[in-house]
């Protein structure tokens, strides 16, 4: 750590401290999400949302693998960029890409939530039935389908004229909407993808060695590959627990910042 630039070093230390703090708080309160509830990024319609989470979520992580790979990438790419740009410019770049990632992520979450609300409203304003409930749950909450099928849909199919099941369907939907609003997002991945983009733009022909498969690849091709992969995953897996649009947001804002700095070249190099 003696040879790690100061901003990268302090960012790594802060992330590790909060990761340990999350574990300790979870152990003491018997609630593993205790600290995440306050510092993780929540959708602004969530009861747990606080504006400061737009920053604090960047220093929280969901597991050992999550923090390890993020901190490894921060050390590998961030150290080079901080040495090139200096501490102040690097810190600004890191924070802006992280905030940009959060902004795009929240926007996408809002659009997805509004889409769910539209389908829920359509279901409830027509004649609700077991088939419509089945389609709705399988589309937006497939992970809960088996439980809801056992508790409601199966019985509703057997007695479709019973109005009690409409009330139960509304209760289930309200709980599912609440759980959707309250999903937290944590991690430095948005800013890390911004660093990856920055490294690829500054050192496009630098050879990097992939881990899987272990082959060399130029930085510019790795950036393009990661960006394309994230875009495909973001479009094809809208309900994923990985914030692909946040990764794309970090890369997008990183690209914009570097283009702005290059336009004003006298203040860049």
Contact 85, 261 (CB under 8 A): no
Q: How many CA atoms lie within 13 A of 37 on its CB side?
A: 10
Which pTM does this prediction carry?
0.90
Is the residue at 93 inside a domain? yes
DSSP per-residue string spanning 58-90: GG--SSHHHHHHHHHHIIIIIHHHHHHH-HHHH
pLDDT for the residue numbered 240: 72
Is the residue at 146 inside a domain? no
Is the residue at 170 inside a domain? no
Strand partners, 217: 208
Domain count along the chain: 1
CATH label of the domain that carries residue 39:
1.20.1540.10
Contact 219, 205 (CB under 8 A): yes
In tens, the pLDDT along 200-209 reads 999 999 988 7
pLDDT band at 215; cut points 50, 70, 90? confident
What's the domain range around 200? 6-110+183-267
Q: What is the mean pLDDT of residues 220-234?
A: 88
Cβ count within 10 A of residue 209: 8
Is the residue at 219 inside a domain? yes
Is the residue at 65 inside a domain? yes
In tens, the pLDDT along 14-38 reads 999 999 999 999 999 999 889 999 9
Residue 35 phi, psi (nearest 5): -75, -35
Classify residue 247 as exposed, middle or buried by CB count within 10 Å of its CB (0-12, 13-18, 19+): buried
Is the residue at 73 inside a domain? yes
Contact 198, 77 (CB under 8 A): yes
Task: Give how far Cα 226 sits from Cα of 46, 76, 230, 247, Å.
Answer: 31, 16, 6, 10
Instruction: Please give the distance of CA 145 from its chain centroid, rounded to a whole number.
Output: 24
Is the residue at 84 inside a domain? yes
pLDDT for the residue numbered 2: 65
Q: What is the mean pLDDT of residues 245-251?
A: 92
Is the residue at 75 inside a domain? yes
Strand partners, 16: none
């Amino acid at each position: 750590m003696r040879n790690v630039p100061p901003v990268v070093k302090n960012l790594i230390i802060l992330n590790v401290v909060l990761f340990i703090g999350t574990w300790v708080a979870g152990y003491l309160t018997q609630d593993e999400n205790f600290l995440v509830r306050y510092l993780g990024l929540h959708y602004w319609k969530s009861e747990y949302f606080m504006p400061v989470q737009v920053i604090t979520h960047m220093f929280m992580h969901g597991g050992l693998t999550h923090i390890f790979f993020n901190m490894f990438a921060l050390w590998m790419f961030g150290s080079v960029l901080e040495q090139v740009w200096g501490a102040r410019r690097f810190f600004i770049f890191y924070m802006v890409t992280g905030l940009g990632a959060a902004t795009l992520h929240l926007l996408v979450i809002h659009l997805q939530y509004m889409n769910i609300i539209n389908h829920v409203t359509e279901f409830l304003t027509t004649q609700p039935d077991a088939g419509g409930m089945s389609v709705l749950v399988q589309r937006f909450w497939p992970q809960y389908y088996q439980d809801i099928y056992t508790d409601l849909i199966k019985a509703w199919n057997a007695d479709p004229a019973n109005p009690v099941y409409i009330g139960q369907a509304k209760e289930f939907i309200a709980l599912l909407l609440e759980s959707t609003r309250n999903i937290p997002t944590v991690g430095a991945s948005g800013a890390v993808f911004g660093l990856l983009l920055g490294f690829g733009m500054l050192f496009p022909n630098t050879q990097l060695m992939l881990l899987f498969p272990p082959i060399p690849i130029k930085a510019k091709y790795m950036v393009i590959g990661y960006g394309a992969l994230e875009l495909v995953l973001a479009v094809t897996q809208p309900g994923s627990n990985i914030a692909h649009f946040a990764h794309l947001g970090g890369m997008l804002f990183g690209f914009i910042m570097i283009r702005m700095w290059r336009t004003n070249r006298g203040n860049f190099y």
